[in-house]
Amino acid sequence: MTAFSLEPEQLARCADLRALAADRLRPLAEKGEPGRVNRPLVAELGRLGLLRRLFTSGALDLCLMRESLAYACTEAETALALQGLGAHPVHAHGTEAQRARWLPRVSDGDAVAAFALSEPGAGSDAAALELRAEPDGTGRWRLTGEKCWISNAPEADLYTVFARTTPGAGARGVTAFLLPADRPGLSGTPLDMLSPHPIGTLALDAVPVAADDVLGTPGRGFRVAMGTLNLFRPSVGAFAVGMAQAALDATLIHTARREAFGGKLRDLQTVAHQVAEMALRTEAARLMVYAAATAYDSGAPDVPGRAAMAKLLATETAQYVVDAAVQLHGARALRRGHLLEHLYREVRAPRIYEGASEVQRAVIAKELYARTAEQEPSS
């Protein structure tokens, strides 16, 4: 299988997953409260075995899951992705005891995970973290500071928290900790956001952590964060592609049925060309996402640049396609409850989280210049 062509078995699994999302997951999503963790939905993802696949599959399979779920139920897609984002550092860097305690619960949908990286003054600039991990003289640390824009906060059961253990050391002085939600001194507040999934702040007031809570090596937490993001950035693109495809398919149906100016909307050249452009950009984004995921699975050296390109192109494309779909549907697309009204609210956030579009461009440029420097002959 190449990055540009899926096998029939993969296509069949995607179709099955779209149907499953529509039949089993969307009804649970519709019963959920916007801005709150939908635990019945998370539990159903566990019962269906989808959460377990987060820790047994490669990047391409993760992308196919996210794209398929996003097409039929964005809430289910996001619930699955947040479980993976929050718990992947435990899977990849946790001790045997940490993995044994938390991964089965996350996989079953019994425990909700969260990835706590961003802060009020350190969103895209992750190396500027200010949350302090201060030694208490007993071989432990106390975490003091604030996290912001954290998905699943403050309702998660465990957090992957990134804190500064070496002041003034930039990215080299950050340590990743596995933090259960019942630790004393940890509190949080939900935020009322445009997108419907849960996002909140965390306040840490001398929260105790020990060596047993460290994920990976002290002072190397930035690598834990970037390794996680390199895996999940292409799949953010897959989420975007799923939304773009849903908007495109809705537009094809609408323009084929809608009577206007003595014929169907699709008979107007401007409409037909717009739909063609939507399809072109969606497919281009899909191929770049698959290529980036395949590069990750094969251990290619240029994963950071490819992941950034995939995330950037797919999220910007989805914004364009959904906006164009709304325009072609007219006012009906802006009514509460319409698919496109829902997608219009959902599609904006992915251009910001896990590295804004501007950050992705910076990553791409950095990788390009680094590659060029390696290829230049020594003088």
- Known catalytic residues? 354
- Between the alpha carbon of residue 349 and those of residues 20, 205, 240, 375, the distances in Å are 25, 29, 10, 37
Structure tokens at 4: 């540009």
34: β partners: none
CA-wise closest residue to 310 among 374, 255, 369, 239: 239
Whole-number Å distance between alpha carbons of 27 and 30: 5
> Could you give phi then psi for residue 225, rounded to 5 degrees?
-65, -50
SS3 of the chain: CCCCCCCHHHHHHHHHHHHHHHHHHHHHHHHCCCCCCCHHHHHHHHHCCHHHHCCCCCHHHHHHHHHHHHHHCHHHHHHHHHHHHHHHHHHHHCCHHHHHHHHHHHHHCCCCEEEECCECCECCCHHHCCCEEEECCCCCEEEEEEEEEEECCCCCCEEEEEEECCCCCHHHHEEEEEEECCCCCEEEEECCCCCCCCEEEEEEEEEEECHHHEECCCCEHHHHHHHHHHHHHHHHHHHHHHHHHHHHHHHHHHHHHCEECCEEHHHCHHHHHHHHHHHHHHHHHHHHHHHHHHHHHCCCCCHHHHHHHHHHHHHHHHHHHHHHHHHHHHHHHHCCCCHHHHHHHHCCHHHCCCCCHHHHHHHHHHHHHHHHHHHCCCC
Residue with structure tokens 């993995």?
Answer: 99
